[in-house]
Structure 1
Amino acid sequence: MTTVPLGLLGVPSSAAAHAPGLERAPAALRAAGFVDALAAAGRDVVDHGDTSVARWRHDAPARTVPHDVVRVADVLQEARAAVLGVLAAGHVPLVLGGECTVTLAVLAAAADAGRDLGVVYVDGGQDLHLPTDHPDEPIADSMGVAHALDLPGAHDTLAGLGPRRPLLTPDRLAFVGYADEEEDVHGLVPAARFPASVLVVDPVAVADRAVRVAGPDGFVVHLDVDVLDFLALPLADVPTYGRGLTPPVLGRLLRSLVRADGFAGLVVVEANPDRDDDAGTHLRTLVGLLADALAAER
């Protein structure tokens, strides 16, 4: 496991989400003691601050698919530059979203830095929706992976975000923990897949297999908290009921991923502070889970 300092960066955006709320997540996680918890876990953390706050808005009168796509791209370009600064400082990116599209910015920044990374996509879904297939639900945070892969029908503004196109290839991608139905409806994405039903049997074994998608420069972990059963930890912007992971299972998975050779960053998205109780119990639980996974080996 690396001992390089973690470079904490917030991307407080709900621009690509279903509704407002996610833009408050980075500040809420800091307020829940995230930095102190990481320090108590033995990790050096350098806080790189936040990009500009971008709250969801109604893109009217012009309706675009994906919704408000130009603004979403502007948010991601600012995040791309900020992540590149984290990499230039020699820190391991620890990026707090916001919504799922932020992983596009991380991949673009890695490509800017000449890095070839795989992605372990720990998420309740696979985010393979395409604008042409979903004009009735034109929300970009369910389309991030489709645009990273530059699938046919992807929007040029997002698929062309970085210095190369595509930003990711299927052999560098593992979907882990999803409970939704298979989203690769066109059969275009022969990636590694480990659904929740497989993961719960042996999270450590799944982690060992998933990290084989690492590139020459390792892999980044994308974590959408909707991979958790909402009734076990109610934070996800779009809840998963009865089919998601429990916090202990997710914790074992993350600890194994973080300690694997090639771990090169973590992106945490889709924790909506509006879901928490008045005492902030659930955000503190998430902070504890993440800090334990990222803890320095003793």
Structure 2
Amino acid sequence: MSTAPLGLLGVPSSAAAHAPGLERAPAALRAAGLVAALTAAGRDVVDHGDTTVARWRHDAPVRTVPHDVERVAAVLQEARAAVLGVLAAGHVPVVLGGECTVTLAVLAAAADAGRDLGVVYVDGGQDLHLPTDHTDEPIADSMGMAHALDLPGTHDALAGLGPRRPLVTADRLAFVGYADEEEDVHGQVPATRVPASVVVDGTEDAAAVAAGVAGSDGFLVHLDVDVLDFFALPLADVPTYGRGLTEPVLARLLRALVRTDGFAGLVVVEANPDRDDDARTHLRTLVALLAGAVAVGP
């Protein structure tokens, strides 16, 4: 387990989301005590601040697919530069979204830095929707990994975000904890798949399988809080009811991944502060879960 300083970076954007709200997540997580919790867990934390706030907007008068795609790409390019600064400082990136597309920016920055990373995608879905298949709901939030993989039909502004295409290959990708239906409807993504039922049955074994996709420089963990049953922890921007992981299972999974040789960073997305109560009860639970995952010691 690396004990290098954690480089905290916020990407307060809902530009690629279904609606506004996620742009407030980084500030809300800090207000819920994230930095103090990470420090109390024995980690050195360097806060790199936030990129520019980008709130969802109506893409009018011209409707693009994905929605507002040029602005989404601009948000991610700013995030890419900021993540590159975290990496250049020698810090382990802990990136707070915002929505799922932020992982594209982290992968682009890693490629800029010459790093070969796998991706452990802990998410209720797989984000493999293609613009050509989803003109009725053209939201980039559900298309992130399709663009990272540069699948046919993706948009150049996102698939071409970084210095290489694709940003990740299927053999370097594990979908973990998902409870939604299979999204690879065209059979183009032979990635590792560890659904929620398998994670529940053997969490540490699931983490070991997932970490097997590491590149020569390790693996990045993407965490969408919609991997959790919304009845267990109601924070997800797009809720998953009655299926998915519980908080204790996710805590064990993350801790096992962080403690695996090759862990190289964490992206946390889709925690909508509007879902929480006035006391930030559920955000504080998420903060405790994250701090426990990266804690130093047994």
Structure-1 residue corresponding to 2:215: 215
1:250 aligns with 2:241: no
Residue aligned with 2:52, SS: coil
2:252, 2:84 → 1: CA distance?
Answer: 29
Structure-1 residue corresponding to 2:94: 94
Q: CA deviation at 1:97?
A: 0.2
Structure-2 residue corresponding to 1:19: 19
Structure-2 residue corresponding to 1:150: 150
Q: Which amino acid aligns with 1:156?
A: D
Q: How does 1:125-164 map to 2 (within 5 A)?
A: 125-164=125-164
Q: Which amino acid aligns with 1:136?
A: D
Q: Which amino acid aligns with 2:289?
A: L
- What percent of counterpart residues are identical? 85
Residue aligned with 1:46, SS: strand
TM-score (norm 1): 1.00
* CA deviation vs aligned residue, 1:189-218 (integer Å, no higher than 9, x gap): 000000001111011110011000000000
1:29 aligns with 2:26: no
Q: Which amino acid aligns with 1:153?
A: G
* CA deviation vs aligned residue, 1:225-261 (integer Å, no higher than 9, x gap): 0000000000000000001110000000000000000
Structure-2 residue corresponding to 1:263: 263
* CA deviation vs aligned residue, 1:19-75 (integer Å, no higher than 9, x gap): 000000000000000000001000000000000000000000100000000000000
Structure-2 residue corresponding to 1:79: 79
Q: Which amino acid aligns with 1:48?
A: H
Structure-1 residue corresponding to 2:108: 108
Structure-2 residue corresponding to 1:189: 189
Q: How does 1:268-279 map to 2 (within 5 A)?
A: 268-279=268-279
Q: Which runs of 4+ in 1 moved over 3 A?
A: none
1:229, 1:181 → 2: CA distance?
Answer: 15
Q: Identify unmatched segments of 5+ residues in structure 1.
A: none
Structure-1 residue corresponding to 2:8: 8
Question: How many matched pairs?
Answer: 298
1:200 aligns with 2:200: yes
Q: CA deviation at 1:109?
A: 0.1
Residue aligned with 1:104, SS: helix
Q: Which amino acid aligns with 2:125?
A: G
Alignment RMSD, CA only? 0.5
Structure-2 residue corresponding to 1:283: 283
Q: CA deviation at 1:297?
A: 2.0
Residue aligned with 1:58, SS: coil
2:259, 2:245 → 1: CA distance?
Answer: 20
2:154, 2:65 → 1: CA distance?
Answer: 10
Residue aligned with 2:256, SS: helix
1:57, 1:249 → 2: CA distance?
Answer: 36
Q: Identify unmatched segments of 5+ residues in structure 2.
A: none
